[in-house]
Amino acid sequence: MSKGEELIEALIHTARLCRTLRSELLLKHGLYAGQDTLLRCLDEEDGRSMGILASHLKVRPPTVTKMVTRMAAQGFIERKTSSTDNRQSHVFITEKGEKAIKKIDKAWRKTERTSLFKVGKKRKKKLAKSFQKITENIQNHQSGNANL
């Protein structure tokens, strides 16, 4: 295995561990992976349309529909038909959802503290730059702009 392959394996493994830790912390509050991001999105701007949510979360509309249906049943959000266009729905955070935001923030902070414990500021900056470059490379490849 080349050094590059080892790095990618380590990156994937580390990302899974971080996601699992965050998921475990959120599950204690009845939230599943991805629901935290949707609630934070609504906390920034309540009443977003399903299409805008899908775009913001970088998922397909059917995925948002499933998430919204489940979360509405849990009482975190509610969906309302648009007053100007009956074909469009808007999603609003409920009081229960607003209370969950504090728990989400706490879970995210704990994930950060645990994951980056004893990682210095300089190394964090280098990691951020490296992750940004990796992201750009993958996005360029996906859009057909890769020069490999």
pLDDT tens digits along 82-127: 788 888 889 999 999 999 999 999 999 999 999 999 999 999 999 9
pLDDT at res. 55: 94
- What is the spatial distance between Cα 139 and Cα 125, in angstroms, rounded to a whole number? 21
- What is the spatial distance between Cα 95 and Cα 37, in angstroms, rounded to a whole number? 17
Class of domain 3-117: mainly alpha
Q: Where are the domains of the chain?
A: 3-117, 118-148
Share of the chain above pLDDT 70, in %: 98
Note the pTM of the prediction, 2 decimals. Answer: 0.81
- What is the spatial distance between Cα 13 and Cα 15, in angstroms, rounded to a whole number? 5
